[in-house]
Structure 1
Amino acid sequence: MDRLSEFLDRNVFNATVFFDGQFCGDNHFSGASALGQLHVVRSGKVVVHHRDRPSLHIDEPAVLFYPRGLQHHLVVPPGSEVNLVCANLALESEEAHAPTLMLPDCLHVRLADAPLLHCTLELLDSEARGQLGGRRLMLNRLCEVLVVQLLRHAHSTGQLEQDALAGLSDPGLARVLEAVQRQPAQPWPLDALARMAGMSRSKFASHFHKQVGMPPAEYIAQRRMKLARQLLRQRLPVEQVAIRVGYQTQPAFSRAFITRFGVSPSAWMRSRPDQPGIAA
């Protein structure tokens, strides 16, 4: 069985459609709950703002998939409207950890780039326009099918990172990867990670490298730097970023940042043209 099927065998997204039709104005999602969202843009234009990433300008049929709660803001330009189907997603999982942390924060897929979605979206469009019995149930189930197709598309196009694929298929590694993502500033000695995965130190180091493609220490360093860049985009002071990603001093963090990216954190931040994309 492939890794994606193993994940979907243990984890099911249950969809509840809360809107379908013509939409104008704006709608804010706080990201405070564990619920994810699925937004199907059937036609029209909409801008999606995020706190720590560039805004998305959508002007063609597309699907947005948020596997877990993430703050975002849908805004329709003045004088325009967009045809949407929107659903909340609740994960029913056999795992005690949060497997959605292995997935990207947001997947944005244009219909033009994913022809395998066409049939499902045509049926979704037909159900959304009609008034047949069982309409709401059909919309919910079609949204759940879309989630599977989106994950398949992300898998086949390389949008799921190696650590995500490993975490989706290996519960022991998933516990480790989730812990590092939740608390990247922790020291995370190899012994502690091995115990978390339920393996010996040597077996864990070998298994981790084989499945994730790098040693645990390198993976942790990469996750810290990924988080650091997100925080720098939010214009947090460098000294605060250093502490939040696990460095005891700003100089130590700056040296590690320069080694990896070739510029200092301050210089990198000044070079960024994008500003945090969140509407008031």
Structure 2
Amino acid sequence: MSSMGRRVRRGVGALGAGALLALTSCELDSGTDAGQVVVTETVTETVVPTPEPTEVDELLDEPTDGATVEPAVEEATYVVTHVVDGDTVDLDNGETVRLVGIDTPERGECGFGPAQSTMKRLVLGKEVVLVESDEDRDVYDRLLRYVEVDGLDVGRQMLDKGLAIARYDSRDGYGRHPREDDYIAADEAAPDITCKRKPQQDNQPRGLLGSGKKDKGSSCEPGYDPCVPLYPPDLDCADVGPVTVTGPDPHGLDRDGDGRACGGD
């Protein structure tokens, strides 16, 4: 080994082991005296980049105290201003609604009075929610909707009471509405709609019962005993007094369908 090599080794030894570990590079300057070692220290600083936040990080950063929960959307409600019959009502916004999937007797038909009266008790003057079905409007431009009061399906209640039948569904050539199966089951389990008759009328030809036909020259509406004036106009109990309902009830006097109206026995 040359004398230069020995001098370098002695110089490094003089620095000490601790200093040697701190060096990242050593450089010998040939322009110095033979007994000196010039050490140049190079320090490299490593910069670690900050990662971009991910979707998971953003979700984890969201508050969990419920402050960001969206408020529940309130359902639109409408007030029923008029009951046409057991399956059709008018609303305060000017629309007429035909209840989906049920059918009730028309004016002058057996069972009309009880169906209309029950519908009045269920919805008249109350706030209702309209629920869409498979169709929007019928040929008369009436809205086709389920009608609910306090979360209860009014059409289903009419079926349960035996005051309506399940109709205008896929069995009749119409579209299949969402509650069809439930309505059909309710209809099959419900009592039949029947006309109340007085005992002495049992032998009367069935075709005349509940037919709604008026005798020529008569001023009495068929289906009431004693005489009730012809419909229209619509009369209330205050106009007629106690009566027995023996057939059609176009005035809607027999509210509970038991054949007795306005306090009649």
TM class by smaller structure: under 0.3
Q: TM-score, normalised by structure 2?
A: 0.24
Q: TM-score, normalised by structure 1?
A: 0.23
Bigger Cα Rg: 2
Report 1 or 2 for greater relative contact order, CA contacts < 8 Å, sequence distance ≥ 6.
1
Higher helix share: 1
